[in-house]
Structure 1
Amino acid sequence: MSAATTSSNAPADHLAPVYAQFPLQITDARGVFLHKPDGGKVLDLYGGHAVAALGYGHPRWVEALTEQAKSLCFQSNAVALDVRRRAATRLAKFCGLGLDTVFFVNSGAEANENALKLACKMTGGTQVIAVEGSFHGRTAAAGAVTWGADKKWYGFPNTPFEVKFIKPTTTAAELSALINDQTAAVIVEPVQGVAGAVDMPKEFLQALRFRCSENGSVLIFDEVQCGFGRTGHPFAANMYEVTPDIITTAKALGGGFPVSAMLVADHVAPYLKMDSLGTTFGGGPMACAIVETVVDIIESEGLLKNVQQRSAEIRETCMVGPVVGSQGAGLLLGLRTSRPAKDVQAELLKLDILTGTSADPNILRILAPFVLESEHVELLRKALARLPK
């Protein structure tokens, strides 16, 4: 049967049915609240998979996007743009780790894809090491280093390189044997997101840094979810005081506008030759205007400190009802539940609080906007206290 005659198989809304969706309808949003058609509102502690870092409708974010759209909505990287230069400079300075060369793309998976490609090109290695529990994206290389993808959704017949997964408890001595002359890169989320806000041991990250430097392998920190302020630091690398060779970041970087970036160290930058990487939409003027503005908002409004304070409040006050512990960092928090987290999530949503779950069935994930206030934490505490233990 030809494609032209199979339209009866399409879903009624014509959208591919590949997403599980919350039993929730919204009309718009403001601040940290989603608005429902009936006039009710939902406290959003999930932020669209950690994207809505400034909440919704932040006036400076809206103004920056509007003004840039009016003046120049798009030009490719074939045209030099001052807004692109300013955004890269501002991002590198915000990071503050000497990863001073920036390549803008569109999504976290695309940033990771380019980082892995660059590492393989640099080293000639044929192997990449990743960490159990990781999630790095759904493209060919990023999906290959995502834990469990081969058994669930990885659709390619072969991975672009050999992949080995290690535990975050792997010792320095064991790393000496595992990271060898075939190892192009080690990629790690310093705080794993999908796994359930799992913060890596500092000594593990330090051991990775030492062994990669010793061996000539590239250490990549995937900070797509945990980076750009979410831990209460510019990046988790700053928090851990471990500097990788490459940081990838996205999600909060645009506060709702699609943009991602790869930040590379000075010794990596010379491998970025003409035409070695490319993108059509990456580094567009609207994305860059937003990056510059989001950095400015985070710094001028003291949002890193706010993230740390609200995180501490949640850990101190929300160990009630079914919550028995916490993990993670900043506003990438995992609340450990005595009952299945999916049940707790559903019960909270009935009380107009949106949270997330994770690969760990007993972890409720908090990915709240950086503008969260104490009164919002109190709403969560009260709701949790109402739930059965």
Structure 2
Amino acid sequence: MTNVVPLRPSATPAAPLQDHLAPVFAQFPLEVVDAQGVSLHTPDGRKVLDLYGGHAVAALGYNHPRWVEALTQQARQLCFQSNAVPLDVRRRAAAKLANFCGLGLDTIFFVNSGAEANENALKLAFKMTNGTEVIAVEGSFHGRTAAAGAVTWGAEKKWYGFPGKPFEVKFIKPSEAHKLATMVNDRTAAVIVEPVQGVAGALDLPKEFLQALRTRCSENGSILIFDEVQCGVGRTGYPFAANMYGITPDIITTAKALGAGFPVSAVLVADHVAEYMKIDSLGTTFGAGPMACAVVEAVIDIIESENLLENVRARSAEIREKCVVGPVVGTQGAGLLLGLRTSRPAKDVQAELLKLDILTGTSGDPNVVRILAPFVLGSEHVEQLRDALKRIGK
């Protein structure tokens, strides 16, 4: 057994923590006490327009009465039972999600987070094939767990932390579709891609590249996984980015907007993938709990009945038309996963917008401010953003 060498105490003791939370997140200079609609409220009475949405989670904004009612009613009725107990609310949520997607990915596995959904999708791909590697796309972000982190661009150098990856990973640029004929081969279990990259700066990938991935995976028998953790469930103005592009992958993973504030994610699979989902092949403790399923059902019903897909597309068009002002020189992305390309550092623009009571995000691109607004955003909020951008200037 290798001897474990104890760590020496630091010569300069670290400053004591202000609380008991691990200091692993950079935080906005913003304290929030409650929220309503698309507004965050601070202890000192500020009303902040939230165009960040808790990192694309708060799809319905805050305190939506039907979301609150669905969660409250289910909590009173039955707060939890595992997948070992069949539940009608679970069956209803799965049917609702499959029908909403409408691409024939009709078998649903509910779990808890985007990373967990991607872990299970990759596991399925390896079970189905004799492959030993995965192809991912430069700029990608798929999660911080072992397999999901392995296919995340830049993770190994920044934060991966594990002594080795669980499989071989190769990265491809969206401009390198011509390389697919050789890159995707008999060793390739899966290709995983965000059709609209989130952390990279709300970057919508070329349709020709995604179509080439679909074609080559079909030719080779590899599994095409669309990671729609951030861009799915209405975020692009379509049920999924796959619908927007007109391309059907073998697996879609999704989370964030799916629960609109409640932790839940899902793996949606085609019939030929579902054949490999046997008893005990996958598992989860909290996934598909009744409260999560009640929320999923409510979120999709609200999106459909309140015409929020149409609203997302309309507000996206307004932002593209009206908000290329001040430091913004262009836009990218889709729906309300938008990148505002800036003439100066995005972090500075973000800080100045926050001083004017507008919260936005940044990204892996130092010149992109990210918009991840709730689907209930109004034209008046777009005008507020436009006026603020004009005010801070170039």
Which of 323, 337, 349 aligns to 1:332? It is 337
Distance 1:38 1:9, change over 3 A: closer
Matched to 1:291, the amino acid is V
Give the secondary structure class of the aligned counterpart of 2:272: coil
Matched with 1:40 is: 46
Q: Superposed, which structure 2 residues align to 1:162-241 within 5 Å?
A: 162-171=168-177, 173-241=178-246
Q: Superposed, which structure 2 residues align to 1:1-389 within 5 Å?
A: 11-171=17-177, 173-389=178-394
Q: Deviations over 1:336-387 (max 9, x none)?
A: 0001000000000000000000000000000000000000000000000001
Give the secondary structure class of the aligned counterpart of 2:119: helix
- TM-superposed deviation, 1:124: 2.0
Give the secondary structure class of the aligned counterpart of 1:346: helix
Distance 1:331 1:118 in 2: 31
- TM-superposed deviation, 1:10: 6.0
Give the secondary structure class of the aligned counterpart of 2:286: coil
Q: Percent identity?
A: 81
- TM-superposed deviation, 1:38: 1.4
Distance 1:305 1:110 in 2: 30
- TM-superposed deviation, 1:40: 1.5
Distance 1:15 1:9 in 2: 14
Structure 1 residues not aligned, in runs of 5+: none
Distance 1:350 1:332 in 2: 22
Distance 1:2 1:286, change over 3 A: farther
Q: Hey, which bits of structure 1, 4+ residues long, moved more than 2 A?
A: none
Distance 2:174 2:206 in 1: 7
Distance 1:9 1:144 in 2: 33
Distance 2:321 2:18 in 1: 46
Distance 1:388 1:199 in 2: 27
Matched to 1:75, the amino acid is Q
- TM-superposed deviation, 1:12: 2.8
Distance 1:320 1:133 in 2: 27
Q: Deviations over 1:237-263 (max 9, x none)?
A: 000000000000000000000000000
- TM-superposed deviation, 1:9: 7.7
Distance 1:260 1:211 in 2: 28
Distance 1:177 1:2, change over 3 A: closer
Matched to 2:205, the amino acid is M
Distance 1:194 1:174 in 2: 25
Distance 1:150 1:184 in 2: 21
Distance 2:176 2:218 in 1: 17
Distance 1:295 1:9 in 2: 46
Structure 2 residues not aligned, in runs of 5+: 8-13
- TM-superposed deviation, 1:26: 1.1
Q: Deviations over 1:185-224 (max 9, x none)?
A: 0000000000001111001000000000000000000000
Matched to 2:189, the amino acid is A
Distance 1:207 1:382 in 2: 41
Give the secondary structure class of the aligned counterpart of 1:267: helix
- TM-superposed deviation, 1:170: 1.2
Matched length = 387
Matched with 2:10 is: none
Aligned-residue Cα RMSD (Å) equals 1.6
Give the secondary structure class of the aligned counterpart of 2:331: strand
Distance 1:373 1:388 in 2: 23
Distance 2:102 2:313 in 1: 19
Matched to 2:184, the amino acid is I
Give the secondary structure class of the aligned counterpart of 1:163: strand
Distance 1:90 1:170 in 2: 37
Distance 2:190 2:6 in 1: 45
